[in-house]
Amino acid sequence: MISRFGLGSRTDARKWIGAGRIAVNGTVIRTPDHWVAVDRDTVTLDGKPLRARERTYRLLYKPGGYLTTYKDPEGRPTVYDLIGDVEEFVFPVGRLDRDTSGLLILTNDAELAERLTNPGYKVPKTYLVKTAAVLGEEAIEQLRRGVTLSDGPTLPAVVHRLRNSASSTFLEIVITEGRNRQVRRMIEAVGSRVRKLVRTAIGPVRIGDLQIGAHRRLTGREVQQLRLAARAGGRSRTVVARNDDPD
C-alpha cells in the first residue's frame, strides 16, 4: 500500500490516488489497495519519486500525568515531551489514559500500529491493577467471563489475583481489546475503582527494567515478535481482509 512510502497518511494516499496523482512503475493507479513492493517498485506523486521511509519503533515507559497526544490545548505534558530527542516523527500505538503508566509503543509504521490496536487481531495487552477495594472471587470471575460496559460486553479476560492488601486487590489482567478506559470501566463494572494502572506488556514485548520516563528502540526481534503476535490473532478470527506484510 502507498502509505508505506510515508509522505502523509492513508487518507492522503487515498485522495492522491483518487485524483490520479500516483503512479506505480509509470502507470497511474486507481485503487488504494494496489499492491506495492517497497523494495522494487517505483512510486511517484505528480511524477516525483517517493522513497520508502525507514520504519522506526520505540518503547516508552510512560509515567502517570502525561497525555498520549501530540499537543494539549491546556499545555499539559504529553508523551512527546519525553521523546523530544527522537528525530523521526512517530505516533503512539493506541492510547494510555493520563493517569495510566507503562508501556507505550511509538512508531511510524501505520500498518503494524493498526494491527496492534484492531481488536480483530486479538493482540494481548497486559496490565497491573491496584483496586480501591478488596475484590471477591465472584468479581474476579466476572472479569474473566467478561462484563457489560456501556459500549457492549467485553471479551473474556485472563485475570490473576496477585495479592490482597487490607484495602486493595492487586491483579494482572490481560485483554485483547483496547476500548476507551476499558480496564477502569471493567473494574467499575464489578463494583470497585482503579487506584493504579500500569501496562506491562503488549503481546510478547514487556516493559522489563526500562526506567520510568525513559524510552528505547525496539529490537528487530521484538518487532518481528509483534508482527507474529498480530498475525496469529488475525488468523483465529475473521477480520477485514488486508494484504499481509511481506517484509
Q: How far is the C-alpha of 55 from the C-alpha of 182, rounded, in Å?
A: 29
Task: At 191, give phi and psi (nearest 5°).
Answer: 95, 15
Instruction: In whole angstroms, give the CA distance from residue 71 to residue 96.
Output: 15
Span of 16-24, 40-48, 128-136, 175-183 interacting with ligand URA by CB under 6 A:
175-183
**Amino acid letter at 246?**
P
Place of cell 513492493: 37
Sign of torsion over alpha carbons 209, 234, 227, 180? negative
99 is catalytic: no
Stretch that binds ligand URA, among 38-46, 73-81, 164-172, 179-187 (CB under 6 A): 179-187
183 binds ligand URA (CB under 6 A): yes
Q: Are 64 and 213 in contact (CB under 8 A)?
A: no
- Residue 181 contacts ligand URA per CB under 6 A: yes
Write out the binding residues for ligand URA, residues 89-148 only, by CB under 6 A.
96-97, 100
The binder of ligand URA chosen from 161, 184, 196, 231 (CB under 6 A): 184
Query: What's the CA gap between 132 and 196, in Å, rounded?
Result: 9
Nearer to ligand URA, 79 or 96 (CB): 96
- Output 179 or 231, the one with its CB closest to ligand URA: 179
- Residues between 81 and 100 with contacts to ligand URA, criterion CB under 6 A: 96-97, 100
- For the annotated catalytic residues, the residue numbers are 97
Binding stretches for ligand URA (CB under 6 A): 96-97, 100, 181-184, 197
